[in-house]
Chains A and B, each alone.
Chain A
């Protein structure tokens, strides 16, 4: 058991990191929470306390629910594609394909690009008249859609851009997981005559489950907060078909200059995101409660 002196030393060692956390995490959060109870309109220096009025306004606002719907569709589609594709590619890389190192490097390249630059790149690739995507579709005899200017395709163009950039993260994590699967259970499965699919489902995937959960949580959080690609590729349009929660938050704060409402929206977003992550953990570990 640690002595009083040891406990005190530990606390002293914790002070610097707790101070940093308080400055960069707790203070902004508390400040934002405080602002959400005020009518703070940037051009007017005077602020007034309005209680829960900002929250009431947002929850009654159609634009909020639309943005939430867009965010949910985006997160669901992007994360699902990234996880499935990422696992598939990781398995492929694990299967000792030729030029594996080269493929490994190339596959990971999109991760090295900042999201705004990736968005710009994708904006030009999805440009309907002169873009690369429609050019290749044209070579295949397909007339490409208007992508970012077409309400039916605009969200998909952002989803595809996100998949391009973030699938490598899933590949990286899952591939690392595959390297750590012990050989003994795999050999036992082979001796027992298990097929490749059975080995994957009953031996490999249980090992990967914590990693997949980790990837799902990280990617869901990131996807839910998507901003850069939306800002660069579509600006939330056409109409509001690609206006996600964070983009709507940005519009409220920096175009409408309603800082109080924007803070309230930030708080609501944080609560929703916490619920989503909690739900992921509960759903994926409901049989194994207590594992975490």
Chain B
């Protein structure tokens, strides 16, 4: 190689190196500031996964001029990811389904108050059509609005009408009737169990337990926020759950909502307390073996003529306080997604939150379980307590309560320990004077 060729080769090498470094810097800069470079802003979304939220995400993706990146993952994982990112002030997510933990997040300053946006965009998103009671009671905290209600659902009683008719049974009106019907319809050798239950520790267990506890006249707290689950109602609740477990599939303690739904769809169980959002899936021939065979009713009361207090849930879409996108744009994405037309289209998946849709007789007639949902609310379906500590203590509390069902602890002891877990947290958070 001549000296000149060597020099030329070296220059070419240096040039290549400069180009490589330049290209890398460009890529890094682009990654660090996507909004500055991208032709359209990317809106990041996170929530748990079930049909109603999947529908909203599909509609959100159709919003013009944005790129939507959505994460739909199991409930506990979604909560975990949100907590970790928000606690670090990260702008990872713009839109989040906050639901029962809205007060917790709002208290920690992780959510953007929506009142200024509502004032500015009231007409554009037809805000006044959104049920004001849901906004006030569920999607607000300390007088400020932190979410837009996207759905209302309650848990009600699903039962196999064909099996009930064949056995000469009626939907149970009391807990004792439920136990008797479950016993009568359990044929384990034929892989048919009396009842589905959702008993996986965490929010799944909490949903079921709350229904039994309140229906027996108890609750999580009294009016002074004193924890009250270690009570006669608590004992009755766990005792009934333990009795019903005898007629449930063998691994019911690992059942979350998906497992309970599949158990009903596959004909494994004859009845159960399930979320309204799962009703439409019973008649989906692609995934269900029981199309047209499942009917719906208000869940049993403790005694004849008594009240029944299943869970009521209202979903809220909130905007992260750390969003780097234009809040007006993000709010409009939410508002337009929850439009009248979209809500009418999705009415079978959950009770709509727009007044004009819930009052539409055509919608009520089209989806047969909306009547059961309305009756359920009339019968006494209620929201979970709204204090931030409620969702914080849930996993530990329900793990302890579950031990009362597994026999690891006697029922009164499980209640006593679960009460202590919650009380300790309430004390730590300054609810009680020492």
Asked if A127 meets B251 with Cβ closer than 8 Å, knowing A42-B83, A254-B80, A255-B395, the reply is yes
Contacts of B263 in A (CB 8 A): 129
Q: Are B399 and A150 in contact (CB under 8 A)?
A: no
Q: Are B252 and A240 in contact (CB under 8 A)?
A: no
Contact string, A235-263, partner B, CB cutoff 8 A, digits 1/0?
11111110100000001001111000000
B359 within 8 Å of A (CB atoms): no
User: Max chain B CB contacts within 10 Å: which of A130, A236, A237, A254?
Assistant: A237
Alpha-carbon gap, A91 to B171, bound state (A): 62
Asked if A256 meets B396 with Cβ closer than 8 Å, knowing A151-B407, A238-B201, the reply is yes
CB < 8 Å neighbour of A42 from B84, B188, B200: B84
Q: Are A129 and B254 in contact (CB under 8 A)?
A: no
The 9 closest A-B pairs by CB, nearest first: A149-B251, A146-B250, A238-B253, A149-B254, A146-B251, A239-B403, A151-B406, A42-B87, A128-B251
Contacts of A257 in B (CB 8 A): 83, 87
B324 within 8 Å of A (CB atoms): no
Q: Are B253 and A149 in contact (CB under 8 A)?
A: yes
Q: Are B396 and A145 in contact (CB under 8 A)?
A: no
B402 within 8 Å of A (CB atoms): yes
Contacts of B434 in A (CB 8 A): none
Shortest C-beta distance, A117 to chain B (Å), equals: 17
Name A261-284 residues within 8 Å CB distance of B. Answer: none
Name A218-241 residues within 8 Å CB distance of B. Answer: 234-241
Alpha-carbon gap, A255 to B108, bound state (A): 15
Q: Which B residues are closer than 8 A to A by beta carbons?
A: 76, 80, 83-84, 87, 108, 110, 188, 191, 199-202, 249-255, 263, 266, 268, 392, 395-396, 399-400, 402-403, 405-409
Closest to B191 in A: A129
CB < 8 Å neighbour of A241 from B108, B250, B400, B406: B406
Q: Are A255 and B255 in contact (CB under 8 A)?
A: no
Q: How many residue pairs, one in A and one in B, have C-beta atoms under 8 Å apart?
A: 93
Q: Are A129 and B251 in contact (CB under 8 A)?
A: yes
Interface residue SS majority, chain B: helix
18 more contacts with CB within 8 A, not counting A43-B87, A237-B253, are A42-B87, A129-B250, A147-B251, A149-B251, A150-B250, A151-B407, A234-B254, A235-B76, A237-B254, A238-B199, A238-B406, A239-B253, A239-B402, A239-B403, A239-B408, A240-B408, A254-B84, A256-B395
Q: Are A235 and B80 in contact (CB under 8 A)?
A: no
Q: Are B108 and A237 in contact (CB under 8 A)?
A: no
A148 within 8 Å of B (CB atoms): yes
Contacts of A254 in B (CB 8 A): 80, 83-84
Q: Are B406 and A235 in contact (CB under 8 A)?
A: no
Q: Are A239 and B396 in contact (CB under 8 A)?
A: no
- 7 of the cross-chain contacts (CB-CB < 8 Å) are A42-B83, A150-B253, A239-B400, A240-B403, A241-B408, A251-B396, A257-B87
Alpha-carbon gap, A277 to B190, bound state (A): 50
Alpha-carbon gap, A146 to B83, bound state (A): 33
Contacts of A235 in B (CB 8 A): 76, 200-202, 254
Q: Are B402 and A237 in contact (CB under 8 A)?
A: yes
Asked if A149 meets B84 with Cβ closer than 8 Å, knowing A237-B201, A238-B406, A239-B402, the reply is no
